[in-house]
Structure 1
Amino acid sequence: MGLLSVFGGFVSSVCSAISSAFSSLGSSLTTFATKIVELAGPLLETVGKIASMVAKFLGVTEELEDPIELGLRAEASDKKPEDFDSYKDYINYIKNEVKIDEEKLKNASDIDKAKYTAIGSGVLIKGIEDKKDMNIGADTFVALAKIGTETLDKLGGARGVDAILDTFKDGKLGEFAKYVSGNLNSVKDKIMVSDRLTETFKSLNPDMDIKDIQKEVMDMGNKK
């Protein structure tokens, strides 16, 4: 049984497992990791991959991190994110001072793997929020996961994701997430999001045909 099989009826079990690690994670990270699971469902692994990619691009981490290992370290840590000035400092601490329990990792159940993935992804996204000095939220990264790594790579990879964050940093990331999920009812807002994405990807990919960019942006919408 693979990692994706834990979702659906098992989401509550994963959330309960995260809550059980409250004493190690603290309130903010526990709440955020739980939100990721609730919103991402079977896209959890993709959320983690994108978060890892962007964190490395922005210098939050020195290398691509495995969210599962990062989550395991966070759970085993004797310090919480609140004990540090930034999530980058917290990540450096758990990477350098907290050893991986290889046996625990090897024998982890699907529920545990999902728990660690959510926690590790939460750590990375919070680190990205610190670096960008903006509230990004779990829904944004779930929207990026719905778009998919293949499309994101085509449009600039981590650089493209960073550009999306900058494009909607004026408090419009929620509209971007709703656009991708097909939950944006306002025609005006749909046009705003579509136009911004088109201009963003046009600037990143000047050699790409504008019609191809417009098609990619149109395909980003309504990915339930």
Structure 2
Amino acid sequence: MTLFRLDASIRPQGSATREIGDIVEQEWLAAHPDDRIERRHVGVDVLPADAWGLAVDANLSPESEHTPAHRQARALAATLVDELLAADALLFAVPLYNYGVSQHFKTYGDLVWTDPRAHGQRFLEGKKAVLVTARGGAYGEGTPRAGWDHATPFMRRILADVWGADLTVIEREFTLVGTLPEFDRFADMATAMHTQALETAREAGKALGAL
């Protein structure tokens, strides 16, 4: 079996989403020690910013007019979809940045959509997927910034509602506690949230491993 894992954190070290994603991966590997993990790290090995526009243009123009850049963009989109279709289970680790979705994940999703197999299709119908996301502050009901997380609803919509994946979401908040002095009074709450996220990751990883 194959697990496809996508990371979108811009931090090579100290990433909250990578830490939680690692727990999911470890639990999956415990059940599939000899199986394959296909990785893509769009936050560090970024996709070309112009690939989406080129792929869209290629889809709307005769092949005779395509440049090498058009063909490369279409080939990249096809590769991204190949990775998703070939996997038996999916893991996405994508942080909240500036109240919205990571630009790297947005570029990834837009490029995937240009492939005919994905455009307008629930091409991941029923495939088990885990989304790990983390936020520096807190955005739940009753907080001053409730509703300011514009990333998680978007990613749920794309991965589950549009692409059709059977999605489990793991969320962690207050990752900036210990970094910003104004968050110091939330230390106990942040520790509890961290512990809960790790436990949820273990459960989600075991569920993936049961496939």
TM-score of the pair, normalised by structure 1: 0.25
TM-score of the pair, normalised by structure 2: 0.26
Select the structure that is richer in helix.
1
Select the structure that is richer in strand.
2
Q: Which has the higher contact order (CA 8 A, sep 6+)?
A: 2
